[in-house]
Structure 1
Amino acid sequence: MGQSLTPPARIGLVGCGAISGQYLTTLARTAGLELVAVADLDRSRAEQVARARPGIRDLPVDDLLTDPDVDIVLNLTTPAAHADIALRAIAAGKDVYGEKPLAATTAQGRAMLSAAASAGVRIGCAPDTVLGTGTQTARRAIDDGLIGAPVAATATMVTAGHERWHPDPDFYYQPGGGPLLDMGPYYVSCLVTLLGPVTAVIAAGSRTRDVRVIGSGPRAGERIPVAVDSHVTGVLTHAGGVLSTLVMSFDAGATRAAHVEVHGELGSLVVPDPNRFDGAVQVRGLSDPDWRPVPESAGYRGAGRGIGLADLAATTPGREPRAGGTFAYHVLNVLESMLTAAATGGTVPVRSRTGRPAAVPLSDG
C-alpha cells in the first residue's frame, strides 16, 4: 500500500497456527503495520514466532489483549474462538481484525458489532482476497458495463477435504467449519463485492461420512468426527435481482467449473479463484468466438493475506474499512441462512444489509 505518512499501527497477533505464516509475511513488508507481540494458547508456538523476529514479544493471550502497546489485535484463532477473543479485545479498547468467518454464529457477530460500536473501535475481517486485482478487475469490468446488466452467477469450490494436508483439521468439521463456513466466505464475499448484498437464500446439504482420517503430520491416521454438512449447495438472491448458484464441497476430488462466472445481458465473465488475490479475468461477448483476457485494471497488486488489515489501519477513523465488520457480518448471515435453509427446506430471508465496499484503484499492495 506504499509508504505510510503516519506511525505504523502496532499489531498484536493471537493464534500462531498454519495461517499465521502468510500474515507474518505481509506484516514484515507493509510500512503501515508493525508487529509488536504474539500469543497462542500453545505458548511454544508463540515463542517460536517471536524467536524468529527480534524485538517481538511473546505474551500470554490475556496480557496481549490488554497490552497498551497494541493498537490492533489480529485474531487468527479457530472459528469457535473468534468472538470470545474479539469481544475481550474490544473491551480493552482495541481495534480487531480477524480471520474468517467473523464468528461461529450471527448472534456472536451481532454482539461483536454492537460492542465495537459502543466502545468506538473498528472491526475488520478476512477474506481480504477480494481487494486483490482478480476480483477488483472483475468488479470494474461489471461496473463499466462490459457484460451489460448482470443476470446470474455461479460459484463452485470442490475439494476432497482439508484433512488430507492440515495436521490439525478438527475445527473444519465442527460447527463454524465445514465447506460453507470455511471456504464459503471467499466465494460469497466475491459475489457480494461484484453483485451487491443478498436478500434471500435456498439451500440443501449432505454429509458423505461421519468420520475423517488425518492424512499428514504427527496425527496422521487419527480419525476425527464430522459434525457438519460436508457438501452444501444453494441459490442466493441479490438485492438487484441477480441469482447466484453456490456449490461448496469437501466431498469430491476436482471440478472443471470456473471458480466464479458472472453472466450478463451482453456476455459472460470468468472471475479467478476468490481464495487468491490475483488471477486472469476473461470475458466473452455474445458475438465473440472465444474468451479473451480482461486487462488488470483495479485492486492491490502483489497483495497477500493481511492487506485488509493494512486497509483498516489506513482507513479514516469513523469510516468502515473495505474488509469491514459490517460486510463480514452480512456474509456470515448469508452463510448461516443457507444452513438454516438446508435444514428446513424453505426460503430463508437474509435480514442484514451491507453496501458494496469502495472499489480499490489499481495500486501496490
Structure 2
Amino acid sequence: MGKPLRIGMVGAGAISGAYLDTLEKLDDVRLTVVTDLDPGRAAAVAGRVPGARATGTLTELVAAPDVDAVLDLTVPAAHAEVALTALAAGKHVYGEKPLATTRADADRVLAAAAASGLRVGCAPDTVLGSGTQTARAAVDAGLIGTPVAATAFMTTPGHERWHPGPEFYYRPGGGPLLDMGPYYVSALVHLLGPVIEVTGAASRPRAEREIGSGPRAGERFAVEVDTHVTGVLRHASGALTTLVMSFDVQATRLPHIEVHGTAGSLSVPDPNQFDGPVELHRSGGGWERLPVSAGTSGAGRGLGLADLARALAEGRPHRASAELARHVLDVMLTLLDAARQGLALPVASACVRPEPMLP
C-alpha cells in the first residue's frame, strides 16, 4: 500500500506503552517523533522505537516534515487543543477518547478537519476487535431477529481503590459515564445504530473518597460529579438500551452488554477489550458460543489508527471516526442533562453506523 503513515505521538504516559506494543507490529504506520511535558518520558518512549526521536514541544512535533499524523495521548482536557494545533499544521489526527470534553470543542475539531480536508479519528478502537464485531455480525445476520432492547453495565466500587492519583475521575469531565461510557456507547452504536433520545437519573452518594493505594493512601478528596448514572437510550432503529455506569457498586454478576431480539438474545463481551466470547441464545434453545466471524483478533490499542492509515490509502471512510466520537460524546452529555432536568431529551447529533470490520 506504499509508504507507512508517519506518526508523531503527543503524550508518553502509561497508555503509550499499549499503543507501542501494537504500532511496532504494523506496516501501515511508523512512529517517528514523540513529545511529552516530561522530556525524560518522551525520550524513554522514543528509545523503544528504532529511528524515532523525542522533541521538546507540540509546536516542534507538528512542524516536523516526517510527521503525517498526530497520535494524541494527552489528558482529555487537552484533546481539542492538540487536535486543532495538528490540523492547523496540516496533519491528520487520531486521539484517545473523548474527542473533546464539550460539544463546542468537538464541533471546532470537526469543522477544522472539514475545512482542511484532513482526517480525525478517535478511540475507542476496542470495538473493532473480534468481540464486538462478531456480535455485530450476528445481529446483522438476523440471528436474534429484530433487535428490541439491550442492556449495558459498567459497575465498580471506584477507581480510587487502585489509582494513586484518582481525583480527576471525580472532577468535571470525569465520572463513570464520561470515563467508561465511550466504550459502551460506541459498541451500542456499532450494534444497534445511532441514538436519538435519552432519559436518565444520577446520584452522588458520597461527598468524599479516600485514596486506597500509593504514597498518598489514606488521603481524602472531594467528589464533584455524579458517580452512579443510569439511563435509557432510544436508538434510531427503535431498540431501547438500558445503561448503568457506576463507581458505587461493590460487587456484581451483571453482564457487560446483552442484546435481545424477537428470535433470540446475544451476550456481548467487555467493550473495553478487543476479544472475548460471544454467546447466542436462540428462541427455544440454549446458550451457544459463536465462532469468531468478524473483527481483528488479538488486536491492541492503535488498531483504529491503522485503519485510518489504510482508509487514507484506499480512499474510504475510517471506522473510528470523529463523527462517531462526536455523537458518542453528545449522547453522554445529553444523558447527564436529562438526569439533571428529569426529562427525556433528544440527541441533536447523528452519525453513520461505521462499516463492519471484516476478519
Question: Which TM-score tier does this pair reach, normalised by the shorter chain?
Answer: over 0.9
Which one-letter code corresponds to 1:135 in the other structure?
A: T
Which of 6, 15, 20 pairs up with 1:19? 15
Contact 1:82–1:102 (CA<8 Å) still a contact in 2?
Answer: yes
CA distance, structure 2, for counterparts of residue 66 and residue 221 of structure 1: 45
- Scaled by the length of structure 1, the TM-score of the pair is 0.95
Post-superposition offset of 1:223: 3.1
Aligned residues: 357
Post-superposition offset of 1:67: 1.8
Question: Unaligned 5+ residue runs, structure 2?
Answer: none
**Is the partner of 2:31 in helix, strand or coil?**
strand
Which of 206, 210, 216 pairs up with 1:209? 206
Q: Percent identity?
A: 61
CA deviation string 1:119-143 (max 9, x = no partner):
1111000000110000100001011
Paired position in structure 2 for 1:333: 330
Paired position in structure 1 for 2:141: 144
CA distance, structure 1, for counterparts of residue 279 and residue 8 of structure 2: 39
Contact 1:78–1:171 (CA<8 Å) still a contact in 2?
Answer: no
Given the alignment of the two structures, is residue 257 of structure 1 paired with residue 254 of structure 2, yes or no? yes
CA distance, structure 1, for counterparts of residue 94 and residue 33 of structure 2: 15
CA distance, structure 2, for counterparts of residue 163 and residue 77 of structure 1: 21
1:1-365 map, 5 Å: 5-60=1-56, 61-288=58-285, 290-316=286-312, 319-362=316-359
- Scaled by the length of structure 2, the TM-score of the pair is 0.96
CA distance, structure 2, for counterparts of residue 232 and residue 191 of structure 1: 17
CA RMSD in angstroms, aligned pairs only: 1.4
CA distance, structure 1, for counterparts of residue 221 and residue 181 of structure 2: 22
Question: Unaligned 5+ residue runs, structure 1?
Answer: none
CA deviation string 1:192-237 (max 9, x = no partner):
1000000000011111223333333344334333221111110000
Which one-letter code corresponds to 1:189 in the other structure?
A: S
Which one-letter code corresponds to 2:177 in the other structure?
A: L
CA distance, structure 2, for counterparts of residue 314 and residue 78 of structure 1: 27
Which one-letter code corresponds to 2:352 in the other structure?
A: G
Which one-letter code corresponds to 1:77 in the other structure?
A: T
Post-superposition offset of 1:21: 1.1
The runs of at least 4 consecutive aligned structure 1 residues that moved more than 4 Å come to none
Which one-letter code corresponds to 1:260 in the other structure?
A: I
CA distance, structure 2, for counterparts of residue 226 and residue 48 of structure 1: 34
Post-superposition offset of 1:171: 2.2
CA distance, structure 2, for counterparts of residue 219 and residue 30 of structure 1: 39
